[in-house]
Amino acid sequence: MKVKLIANTELNMDAVDHWFDDDDSDVLDDDSDRVYDNRWQMGEYVSHNHATKFAAIPGSDHYEMTFEGERVEYADELSEMAGRLCYKSWNRPNPATATNQGYIANILAQQHFSVLEHASATFWISGVSRSLTHELVRHRHLSFSQVSQRYVNESEGETVTHPALDSAFTKDIVEDAVNEARSQYASLVDYLVSLGVDRKTARGAARGVLPNATATELIVTGNHRTWREVLSKRLAPGADAEIQALAAALLVELRKIAPNTYQDFE
């Protein structure tokens, strides 16, 4: 199994900076101070132009926003911005929620998950079974692009063995069953093509005999509210072992880009 984060939300810091610096905007209440001791200082929002507050993470193309020792990822920052916009609480009146970690912890406790929908993450997932993806697609707010068995020849594809079938005895049974299914698949495709059926249609018909253990790969995108919903169900003890492993791998990557959004997951 391979899980690779290939895209995630980044803020346009110049646009954010201009938005806060626009005299015609009502970002701040009229009676608010013009300068705050926080990340949203008027005209000094953390950006590429403020090197002391914006640092590259070694070994990656990712960046962190910092202020007074607090590092804030783009996804976490965007969720806080969305929440503070709702209440115009840019001046951070509550010390318990003055930091991004504290603010999002309160969002999670109150279950105000809508603000987590603004940022998203996209993964390239490979080396998983069709059994797994049949379960994953039940999370309907995710977006999927998966290898097509109508176009791609599966006669020599790979197999993903379920963890419960990892013994020498069961592996032999699985291998025999998979080899027989692939042989029948290839025979069906050849037979249909010999009758004049186009190859795409032939593969689409023959794929019905392929096992759920057939390996596949897909690109999946979801916002952070949706990814939290996936993790809450697929990390549970009752979830299938293969998708539990996927959820654990996803959590590792999601914590890198939105640690405060996933602070309550162990």
Smallest Cα–Cα separation from 143: which of 216, 222, 225?
Answer: 222
Smallest Cα–Cα separation from 230: which of 87, 156, 221?
Answer: 221
Q: How far apart are the first and last CA of the chain?
A: 21
Q: How far is CA 96 from the centre of its chain?
A: 28
- Which is the catalytic residue, given 207, 225, 228, 234? 234
Which two three-digit tokens encode residue 131? 């059994």
Q: For residue 112, report the phi and psi dihedrals to the nearest 5 degrees.
A: -90, 65
Residue 39 bears catalytic tag: no
User: What number of other Cβ atoms are within 10 A of residue 46's Cβ?
Assistant: 23
Q: For residue 210, report the phi and psi dihedrals to the nearest 5 degrees.
A: -75, 145
Q: CA distances (Å), 241 to each of 97, 154, 162, 172, in order?
A: 37, 25, 8, 20
Give, for 101, the enclosing helix (H) or strand (E).
helix 100-110
Torsional sign, CA 66, 39, 22, 25: positive
Give catalytic residue positions: 234
